[in-house]
């Protein structure tokens, strides 16, 4: 599924303030390698339904075995082993015996200290991979990719050096043992270590996703293998909110455009981002923040939410809004299935100009039947111009005033809002009073 940099930023998939990102919410990896692989996976959502379903199966298997599925290999172990391979260690004897072992320890003390410490971590790594291989072996009808990993782990582990090392206890390592195993790992095992490490990092990333699904009570979506775009969500909410309000929503070819209105802070942007994040997570093979989600595969998600000007290039806010819409039209006019999310279109110009531009964009986009659209706006007057179009559904977020304070229900309702609360907010925050006292 295609997602560009702007959409990643708009949906907060990754963020410079990482604690406010979707990635941070899902990241429960134990190793740097697992974390970077998870980051790569999240930057490349799947465009193959078979791959999505296999990932779902793998995560379900891990969830069913959460207590037993303990990753016993630490980030420290992986770092020590990688340092061992990168270090310029003096040549380790290939056939250590009493005399050359003592000689190496005495005259290559710093190197010996490193390799002795490393061998202990190699033992931890080998033992941990053996346990993971056995765990996968005990899974009934393991998904094909897990079966392939199990077979590869078993093949590599069927090595006398690894079998004997796994049985060793730390206190039983002699100087000769340290040199014997370190020679094997340094000169004969590197490529196989890299292969096993890649397998482990993948398992670490999947385990992280499974932990997030369990922790945040996410549900696996159902993908419909049909040609037309479709989304039906029940009690969907935003994964980044600690106390979210949920929504029910449906989009289909016969009703593929939501015209969304409501006052500032009423919940429009949150709703739009909730939908985008849910569809995105579904294409990772992840669970989603909804009680139930049915959808088709999408070729891409495009957003127009946080447009900015560019002082260096001399580009105004409105110019960049226009360019984003232009690029969106050029991208989605290809007969494929897209989800397009637009929040407060044409904020960078006056109201009359914004209404004219917005109306032109809406009347153009509704001709594209192969994609789904959500567009929010303050310009509720546009609704009168487009209300006869059967493909457009009108939704709004209600705002009320109680005891001179704004009250937001955050409930998605049918219809068009005509709330105008900007001046009320200005007054309630005593800005008007401050101005009058100048």
Q: Is residue 17 part of a domain?
A: no
Verify that 193 and 254 share a domain, yes or no: no
Q: Sign of torsion, CA 4 6 11 13?
A: positive
pLDDT of residue 23: 97
How far CA 387 is from CA of 168, 250, 345, 416, in Å, comes to: 76, 18, 18, 10
Verify that 47 and 195 share a domain, yes or no: yes
CB 343 within 8 A of CB 377: no
Take residue 157 and report the two structure tokens written for it.
Answer: 């582990």
Take residue 177 and report the two structure tokens written for it.
Answer: 């043992």
Q: Is residue 142 part of a domain?
A: yes
Domain boundary among 193, 215, 237: 215
Composition of the chain by helix, strand, coil, percent to 5:
50, 15, 35
Closest C-alpha to 295, from 111, 115, 52, 19: 52
Verify that 200 and 134 share a domain, yes or no: yes
Question: What is the rounded distance in angstroms from the CA atom of residue 191 to the CA atom of residue 403?
Answer: 70
Question: What is the rounded distance in angstroms from the CA atom of residue 320 to the CA atom of residue 72?
Answer: 50
Q: Sign of torsion, CA 187 191 192 194?
A: positive
Residue 256, domain CATH: 3.40.50.300
pLDDT of residue 373: 97
Verify that 151 and 68 share a domain, yes or no: yes
Verify that 110 and 134 share a domain, yes or no: yes
Verify that 405 and 290 share a domain, yes or no: yes
Domain boundary among 160, 191, 215: 215
Residue 193, domain CATH: 1.10.1420
Question: What averages of pLDDT result for each successive group of 10 residues across the chain (438 residues)?
Answer: 94 87 95 97 95 96 80 90 92 83 83 90 92 87 91 94 83 84 93 96 95 96 95 96 93 95 84 97 98 97 79 63 90 92 84 88 92 92 90 88 73 83 65 72
How many CB atoms sit inside 10 A of residue 249's CB?
Answer: 20
Q: Is residue 400 part of a domain?
A: yes
- In 240-376, where does DSSP find H-type helix? 268-282, 317-332, 351-365
Angle (CA) 36 209 204, round 5°: 50
> Which stretch of DSSP H or E encloses residue 144?
helix 144-157
Q: Is residue 10 part of a domain?
A: no
Verify that 271 and 197 share a domain, yes or no: no
Q: How many residues does the chain have?
A: 438
Closest C-alpha to 85, from 122, 34, 48: 122
Q: How many domains does the chain have?
A: 2
pLDDT of residue 113: 87
Q: What are phi and psi of 256, to 5 degrees?
A: -105, 10
Q: Is residue 108 part of a domain?
A: yes
Q: What are phi and psi of 375, to 5 degrees?
A: -130, 125
Question: What is the rounded distance in angstroms from the CA atom of residue 150 to the CA atom of residue 156?
Answer: 10
Write out 145-173 in H/E/C secondary structure.
HHHHHHHHHHHHHCCHHHHHHHCCCHHHC
| Residue 203 three-state SS | helix
pLDDT of residue 315: 54
Q: Is residue 6 part of a domain?
A: no
Mutual orientation of helices 190-215 and 75-86 as an angle, nearest 10°?
160
pLDDT of residue 349: 77
Closest C-alpha to 130, from 152, 146, 108, 147: 152
pLDDT of residue 129: 92
Which pTM does this prediction carry? 0.91
Verify that 117 and 188 share a domain, yes or no: yes
Task: Supply the DSSP symbol for 233.
Answer: E
Domain boundary among 195, 215, 235: 215
Residue with token string 């993971």: 132
Take residue 70 and report the two structure tokens written for it.
Answer: 């303990």
Q: Is residue 18 part of a domain?
A: no
Boundaries of domain holding 88: 31-215
Closest C-alpha to 38, from 49, 24, 53: 24
Verify that 59 and 195 share a domain, yes or no: yes
Verify that 227 and 365 share a domain, yes or no: yes
pLDDT of residue 350: 80
Verify that 106 and 236 share a domain, yes or no: no
Q: Is residue 392 part of a domain?
A: yes
Question: What is the rounded distance in angstroms from the CA atom of residue 201 to the CA atom of residue 230?
Answer: 34
Verify that 146 and 207 share a domain, yes or no: yes
pLDDT of residue 314: 45
């Amino acid at each position: 599924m295609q997602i560009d940099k702007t959409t990643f930023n708009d949906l907060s998939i990754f963020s410079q303030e990482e604690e406010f990102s979707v990635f941070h919410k899902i990241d429960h990896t134990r190793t740097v390698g697992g974390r970077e692989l998870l980051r790569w996976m999240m930057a490349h959502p799947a465009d193959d339904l078979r791959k999505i379903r296999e990932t779902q199966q793998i995560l379900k298997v891990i969830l069913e075995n959460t207590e037993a599925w303990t990753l016993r290999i630490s980030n420290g172990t992986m770092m020590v082993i990688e340092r061992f391979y990168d270090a310029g260690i003096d040549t380790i004897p290939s056939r250590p015996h009493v005399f050359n072992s003592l000689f190496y320890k005495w005259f290559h003390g710093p190197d010996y200290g490193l390799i002795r410490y490393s061998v202990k971590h190699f033992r931890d790594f080998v033992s941990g991979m053996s346990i993971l291989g056995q765990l996968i072996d005990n899974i009934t009808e393991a998904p094909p990719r897990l079966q392939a990993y199990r077979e590869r782990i078993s093949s590599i582990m069927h090595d006398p050096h690894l079998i004997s090392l796994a049985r060793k206890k730390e206190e039983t390592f002699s100087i000769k043992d340290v040199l014997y195993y370190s020679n094997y790992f340094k000169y004969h095992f590197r490529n196989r270590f890299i292969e096993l490490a890649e397998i482990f990092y993948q398992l670490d990333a999947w385990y992280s996703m499974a932990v997030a699904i369990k922790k945040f009570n996410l549900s696996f979506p159902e993908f419909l293998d049909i040609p037309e775009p479709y989304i039906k969500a029940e009690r969907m909410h935003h994964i980044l909110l600690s106390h979210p309000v949920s929504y029910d929503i449906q989009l289909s070819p016969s009703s593929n455009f939501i015209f969304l209105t409501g006052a500032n802070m009423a919940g429009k942007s949150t709703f739009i981002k909730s939908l985008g994040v849910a569809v995105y997570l579904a294409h990772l093979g992840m669970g989603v923040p909804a009680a139930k989600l049915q959808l088709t595969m999408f070729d891409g998600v495009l957003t127009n939410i946080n447009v900015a000007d560019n002082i260096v290039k001399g580009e105004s806010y409105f110019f960049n809004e226009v360019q984003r819409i232009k690029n969106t039209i050029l991208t989605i006019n290809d007969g494929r299935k897209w989800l397009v999310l637009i929040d407060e279109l044409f904020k960078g110009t006056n109201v009359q100009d914004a209404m004219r531009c917005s109306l032109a964009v809406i009347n153009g986009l509704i001709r594209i039947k192969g994609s789904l659209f959500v567009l929010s706006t303050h310009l509720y007057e546009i609704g009168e111009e487009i209300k006869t179009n059967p493909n457009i559904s009108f939704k709004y977020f209600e705002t009320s005033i109680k005891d001179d304070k704004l009250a937001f229900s955050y409930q998605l309702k049918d219809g068009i809002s005509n709330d105008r609360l900007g001046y009320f907010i200005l007054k309630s925050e005593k800005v008007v009073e401050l101005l009058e006292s100048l």
